[in-house]
Amino acid sequence: MKVPILKQGDYLIASVQSVLTDLDLKQLHDDLVEKVGRFRSRGVIVDVTALDVMDSFAARMLRTIAHITKLRGAETVVVGIQPDVAFSMVQLGLMLDDVTTALDLEEGLAYLKQLVKGNSTKDD
Amino acid sequence: MIEKIIVNIGLESDIVTARQQGKKLAKHLDFSSSELTTIATAISELARNIVDYAGGGEIILKLIQQNGKQGIAIVARDNGPGIKDLELAMQDGYSTGKGLGLGLPGTKRLMDDFEIFSEIGKGTTIIVKKWRKQNAC
């Protein structure tokens, strides 16, 4: 199922559905890279709350998305990794070391707001 | 009760089918939700190996019993090129393809039992098992 992407102010929010194929992930990657440029977004949130399995391919794609959007000037935060999914990821050896994560959408947005604010006003 | 499911693996979309079927079958055994996720993740890795390296094969999901224990067995079978160096393939970070090199060693960590048989030019069979914890309540 294609991942819907919402534009909210300076941010893009992608809400991953439970059934995520490799093709959906590649599509999400392409869509986000294009939309970050089109909407001049400063931040991207990938919400994986509904995702029931994160395997090595999905983790690698999320990492790639985070790296590429960063090169395009937008910070990516992955939010909503469920406890069971986190448990399996650690056993598998998927640490997502260099990707910013947050508990949920709210925390993710708060993080991005702070980041963008910090970048634009030095004396804040 | 269904005790055995065979999922043909050819396209990447079959990976999702295999892990959904596996989760559905494992639910018959009262695995915890964390164990169900673990099983689905392992199936995903095994199915992806088939798609990426062998081009096609099958995943067989079975409910099993042994010495009063109940569990699920996942057999991943392909007629691909086989694995040249099994010891190397089982090392973290080793990959000949596009993966992270965590597939096989990671799957072994996810499951309770792990067996691999491979013959050059004939294919690879991997059998993994997850047992239901006896004192789970």
Let me know: does A21 contact A119? Beta carbons within 8 Å: no
CATH number of residue A115's parent domain: 3.30.750.24
Predicted local distance difference test score (pLDDT) of residue B83 = 87
Predicted local distance difference test score (pLDDT) of residue A41 = 96
Return d(Cα A16, Cα A79) in angstroms, integer: 10
Is A27 a domain residue? yes
Is A91 a domain residue? yes
Sketch out chain B's domains with CATH numbers.
4-131 (3.30.565.10)
Task: Name the residue among B21, B124, B7 with its Cα closest to residue B60.
Answer: B7
- Structural domain containing residue A114: 5-119
Return d(Cα B107, Cα B6) in angstroms, integer: 20
Predicted local distance difference test score (pLDDT) of residue A76 = 97
Return d(Cα B37, Cα A120) in angstroms, integer: 42
User: Which backbone phi and psi does B6 adopt, to 5 degrees?
Assistant: -110, 125
Let me know: does A78 contact A104? Beta carbons within 8 Å: no
The pair of three-digit structure tokens given for residue A41, joined into one six-digit string: 């977004």
Burial degree of B85 (CB within 10 A; 0-12, 13-18, 19+):
exposed
Which of A85, A88, A95, A98 to substitute to test the interface with B, most B CBs within 10 Å? A88
Is A124 a domain residue? no
Q: Which residues of chain B have pLDDT under 70?
A: 1-2, 94-102, 135-137
Q: How many domains does chain A have?
A: 1
Residue A30 at interface with chain B, using a CB cutoff of 8 Å: no
Whether A53 sits inside 8 A of B102 (CB atoms) is no
Residue A93 at interface with chain B, using a CB cutoff of 8 Å: yes
Predicted local distance difference test score (pLDDT) of residue A122 = 52
Tokens 């809400």 locate to A15
Residue B45 at interface with chain A, using a CB cutoff of 8 Å: yes
The pair of three-digit structure tokens given for residue A95, joined into one six-digit string: 């640490």
**pLDDT 10s digit of each residue in chain A, 124 long?**
789 999 999 999 999 987 888 899 999 999 999 999 999 999 999 999 999 999 988 999 999 999 999 999 999 999 999 999 999 999 998 888 889 999 999 999 999 999 878 776 655 4
> What residues have CB less than 8 Å from A90, skipping those under 6 apart?
none
Whether B106 sits inside 8 A of A56 (CB atoms) is yes
Predicted local distance difference test score (pLDDT) of residue A35 = 96
Q: Is A1 helix (H, G, I), strand (E, B) or coil?
A: coil
* Angle value at C-alpha B39, between B38 and B44, nearest 5 degrees: 95
Predicted local distance difference test score (pLDDT) of residue A124 = 46
The pair of three-digit structure tokens given for residue A110, joined into one six-digit string: 């708060």
Return d(Cα A78, Cα A63) in angstroms, integer: 9
**DSSP β-bridge partners for residue B6:** B60
Predicted local distance difference test score (pLDDT) of residue B135 = 60
Predicted local distance difference test score (pLDDT) of residue B37 = 96
- Which residue of A lies nearest to B105 if distances are taken between CA atoms? A92
Q: Is A34 helix (H, G, I), strand (E, B) or coil?
A: helix
